[in-house]
Amino acid sequence: MNANRKFKDSIYEQFARISKALSSPKRLELLDLLCQAERSVELLAKLTGLSVANASQHLQVLRSARLIEAEKQGLFVIYRLADEQVRDLLYALRGLAEKRLTEIEHTTRQFLENHPGLEPVDRDTLRERVRSGAVTLIDVRPTEEYLAGHIQGARCIPLDELEKHLDRLPKDQEIVAYCRGPYCVLAVEAVERLRARGFKAFRLEDGVYEWQLLGLPIDAESPAA
């Protein structure tokens, strides 16, 4: 009977390895970035605001829980998700958090109140208008994420290079920007900058994953801008 207890304890300890690795906000953010595209330590550190050494250690934690994999490419070490199921688990976690923790909605609403007029556009009407060409859809994430996968019909206009592309964007037509998802602020920033210059810009809340879940078309590896 004591052997049973020991068996159970060691099994649940293994399960807990995964959730322990997920129990740090910074690691969740790292994983979230890796859901979009694979990346080097340095880049991940910059995107999350961590020191390189610190980011590296967080990444080791995730790796020893077998959630991500590392591959050496020349000078860089490229990290990527170890399994598609990791993405699913992460989004299940996010979904449950959104549903059960009302604080998240509060925080989001508060944030959007500081950026007035940025309520997300409706997904269904958007889809219709993208199809008919009545709307220009732009993906404002870094180019490597666009390449890894983007909504069909979207143009690749990373936020950093927004100004370069201004003359190729229509002034009279609606422009809809999207990024990594509801908690990524790239699209918010993009819309604000575009509006300041007189464009009719709006924000799509979804990211590529949400779009894909709905069975909507995704393209990859075709960097047409």
Partner DNA sequence: GCTATATTCAAGTAGTTTATCGAATACTTG
Partner DNA sequence: CAAGTATTCGATAAACTACTTGAATATAGC
Mind telling me the catalytic residues?
Answer: 179
Q: Which stretch binds DNA (CB under 7 A): 67-75, 109-117, 192-200, 212-220?
A: 67-75
Q: Which helix (H) or strand (E) holds 77?
A: strand 76-81
CA 97 – CA 205 distance, rounded (Å): 17
49 binds a copy of itself (CB under 8 A): yes
Return the number of the residue (2 or 222) whose C-beta is nearest a copy of itself. Answer: 2
Which option in a copy of itself, DNA, none does residue 2 bind, with CB closer than 5 to 8 A by kind? none
Question: Taking contact as CB under 7 A, which single stretch among the options 51-59, 115-123, 153-161, 187-195 is the one that binds DNA?
Answer: 51-59
Cα–Cα distance between 188 and 201 in angstroms, integer?
10
The one-character DSSP state at 159 is G
Distance in angstroms (rounded) separating the CA atoms of residues 188 and 87: 24
Listed residue (32, 30, 67, 31) closest to 45, CA to CA: 30
Sites of contact with a copy of itself (CB under 8 A): 3-5, 7-20, 22-26, 28-29, 32, 49, 65-67, 82-83, 85-86, 88-89, 92-97, 99-101, 103-104, 107-108, 111, 114, 183, 185, 189
